[in-house]
Chains A and B, each alone.
Chain A
Amino acid sequence: QVQLQESGPGLVKPSQTLSLTCTVSGDSISSGPYYWSWFRQHPEKGLEWIGYIQYSGIIYYNPSLRSRLTISADTSKNQFSLMLSSVTAADTAMYYCARARYYVSGYGVDVWGQGTTVTVSS
């Protein structure tokens, strides 16, 4: 059974960098056809896609976050990570890591982490 677990500070100061890691068990992040993804959800709001790193190493970012965002992977640890710089209170949210996949006839996130709450505050 594939499981994803987010880890990282729950509190980040404004202007600093938010760093989260997702540890994957039960599958290899080098295997396909998967998109190892980050999403977030602001309090009482909807879902927002942050970005993904594909099993092949291709990376895509949400255009609205691209200038502050870095997603990377460490295949030796079977982890992928998120770094979001220059954070503000608007980055306070629940952050989810997830595995998206391509089916023959569509796409979907079939495995989610439990989520981790990140608060930006001094």
Chain B
Amino acid sequence: EIVLTQSPGTLSLSPGERVTLSCRASQSVNSNSLTWYQQKPGQAPRLLIYGASNRATGIPDRFSGSGSGTDFTLTISRLEPEDFAVFYCQHYGRSSWTFGQGTKVEI
């Protein structure tokens, strides 16, 4: 089973700042199996990025994903007030799906 480790645990930032979130896999994974979600309090997660770098429908272009092998990154080029949330990476394995523990982006 792939273990995903996200860092940092919490980021305290201001609107307008650029943010980079890390997701590291315990072993090399196929890029098309790495996905990012955003979750706000009291809401279900929202799909942001699939296949490591493809924005989901309706996701603003300030969100971008990159990476390969064991190291993946979610970047928000310029934080908007509505972006403050918890972000999770997820691996879609052949027989098991796993999540990172999440990174909280707070004001």
Q: Does B102 lie within 8 Å of A105, measured CB to CB?
A: no
What residues of chain A lie closer than 8 Å to B96, measured between beta carbons? 49, 60, 62-63
Decide if A26 is an interface residue (CB 8 Å cutoff). no
**Cross-interface CB contact of A106 among B35, B45, B95, cutoff 8 Å:** B35
**A105 to B50 alpha-carbon distance, docked (Å):** 8
Q: Does A46 lie within 8 Å of B99, measured CB to CB?
A: yes
Q: With contacts A103-B54, A106-B51 known, is A49 near B98, CB below 8 A?
A: yes
Interface size class of A (residues with CB under 8 A): 20 to 34
B interface list, Cβ under 8 A from A: 1, 31-35, 37, 39, 44-45, 47, 50-52, 54, 56-57, 88, 90, 92, 95-102
Q: Does A47 lie within 8 Å of B47, measured CB to CB?
A: no
Closest residue to A50 on the B side, CB-wise?
B97
Q: Does B95 lie within 8 Å of A107, measured CB to CB?
A: no
Chain A binding site: helix, strand, loop or mixed by DSSP?
strand
Q: Does A96 lie within 8 Å of B52, measured CB to CB?
A: no
Q: Does A110 lie within 8 Å of B99, measured CB to CB?
A: no
Can you offer 20 A-B residue contacts whose CB atoms are under 8 A?
Answer: A47-B99, A52-B97, A63-B96, A98-B44, A100-B92, A106-B31, A106-B32, A106-B33, A106-B34, A106-B50, A106-B54, A107-B35, A107-B50, A107-B51, A108-B47, A108-B56, A109-B45, A109-B47, A110-B56, A114-B44
